[in-house]
Amino acid sequence: MTAPAPRPGIMDIRPYVGGESAIEGVSRIVKLSSNEGALGPSPKAMEALKALAPEIHRYPDGGAEALRQAIGARYGINPDRIVCGAGSDELLGILCRAYAGPGDEVLYSAHGFLMYAIAAKACGATPVTAPEVDLTANVDNLLKAVTPKTKILFLANPNNPTGTYLPSSEVARLRAGLRPDILLVIDAAYAEFVSRNDYTSGNELVEAGDNTVVCRTFSKMFALGGLRLGWAYGPENVVGVLNRVRNPFNVGSAALAAGLAAFQDTEYAELCKRHNDYWLPWLSEQVSALGLTVVPSVGNFILIRFPKDAGKDAATADAFLRSRGIIVRAMGAYGLGDSLRITIGTGEENQMVVDALREFLKK
Ligand code: PMP
């Protein structure tokens, strides 16, 4: 008997493997592998979660009304043009399913977020990458890689895992150079961390036409990765599509309640931002001073490149850090086998990383 077979291409997908959270035999773990908020969630989000417990037999508000209103008011954008998702991953996946299929191409830069390849292949489309310059998305190369089959262009800005970003003028040049029937998806998962005058998350491009959408997440600055909550801001036509294709109750009530409380706790969000503003340059400088190459980052993580010499390479460094209970992310899946990505942690954790790397390099 023949077993049921999935659509062609599905078995080519390499399943996404998240950052580990345990090492056998090690009790104290420092987990810096998934770009989670260093200080944990807002206490108000935790209270909201507890208060919700007696109500979890109720379905959530499928329209995420209160959260969309709050987001709209904060950014001065129309709440009717916001859609919430079970993490921004869900929204990226839905956009692929709705706008691309077999025979179509989904374009992104060489070291773009892994989910883009998964989402493209899952809907039968072909992922296509464009070369970067200095590990940064390059507008000319992206435009050159466009073909008549291109349906979606994903731009992570800032990008994970490189931490690099494009200024808003470059993103505008990208939009202007694309055919209007290509959907530009700006994935601004790390937008809240960026402290650069020439950066915007891209809302102005959403407003300028009907072919650009911005995706955001509660997993990073708001430190709610475990609840799965993201949102997209798009033109009416794209929002209409997302609302047709998403599941009716795609975001659970726990995510909605904690997300709203976290979003409204601006004092805590500012604390998290200040923490990152201090420790991102600190960790970058300390690691550079050890003689390693740090890719300039505007997110809550840094990409460190290691020499190829046996014993000093990224894989050996990874194993050494693990022996000290520190879990970071090896970048082989991104074709960056010489690199490790390290999330900004608490002050103590950051110091532990620097001490461990110093010890490793001295060996
Ligand atoms: N986009 C980028 C660039 C990311 O790094 C991540 C998380 N690793 C996501 C999207 C997905 O985030 P989530 O699904 O948790 O909202």
71: in domain: yes
Residue that is last in its domain, among 246, 264, 282: 264
Provide the CATH number for the domain around residue 23: 3.90.1150.10
Do 59 and 35 lie in one domain? The reply is no
Do 223 and 347 lie in one domain? The reply is no
Residue that is last in its domain, among 224, 240, 264: 264
Would you say the CB of residue 33 lies under 6 angstroms from ligand 1? no
Do 357 and 230 lie in one domain? The reply is no
Best residue among 34, 164, 193, 220 to mutate for probing ligand 1's pocket (most ligand atoms within 8 Å of CB) is: 220
Q: How many structural domains is the chain composed of? A: 2
Best residue among 113, 216, 227 to mutate for probing ligand 1's pocket (most ligand atoms within 8 Å of CB) is: 113
Q: Which residue's CA is the closest to the ligand 1 atom numbered 6?
A: 189
Distance 79 CA to ligand 1 centre (A): 22
Provide the CATH number for the domain around residue 163: 3.40.640.10
Q: Which two tokens stand for residue 124?
A: 């039968």
ipTM of the prediction: 0.99
pLDDT of residue 310: 80
Do 114 and 64 lie in one domain? The reply is yes
Do 251 and 306 lie in one domain? The reply is no
Q: Which residue's CA is the closest to the ligand 1 atom numbered 5?
A: 160
Would you say the CB of residue 158 lies under 6 angstroms from ligand 1? no
pLDDT tens profile 254-286: 999 999 999 999 999 999 999 999 999 999 999
Do 146 and 256 lie in one domain? The reply is yes
Distance 217 CA to ligand 1 centre (A): 7
Atom of ligand 1 nearest to the CA of 34: 8
* Contact in structure between 97 and 75 (CB atoms under 8 Å): no
Would you say the CB of residue 217 lies under 6 angstroms from ligand 1? yes
pLDDT of residue 86: 98
Tell me the residue range of the domain where 358 lies.
17-40+267-362
pLDDT of residue 52: 96
Do 245 and 352 lie in one domain? The reply is no
Q: Which two tokens stand for residue 68?
A: 């969309």
Would you say the CB of residue 192 lies under 6 angstroms from ligand 1? no
Do 220 and 201 lie in one domain? The reply is yes
Which residue has tokens 């036409």? 209
156: in domain: yes
Extract the residue ranges of the chain whose pLDDT is less than 70.
none
pLDDT of residue 333: 85
Do 260 and 309 lie in one domain? The reply is no
Q: Note the maximum CA span of the chain.
A: 62
Q: Is the dihedral of CA 282, 284, 285, 286 positive or negative?
A: positive
Q: Which two tokens stand for residue 19?
A: 């950052």
Q: How far apart are the first and last CA of the chain?
A: 58
Residue that is last in its domain, among 264, 279, 314: 264
Would you say the CB of residue 187 lies under 6 angstroms from ligand 1? yes
pLDDT of residue 16: 82
Distance 143 CA to ligand 1 centre (A): 24
pLDDT of residue 8: 85
Would you say the CB of residue 225 lies under 6 angstroms from ligand 1? yes
* Cβ partners under 8 Å of residue 226, min gap 6: none
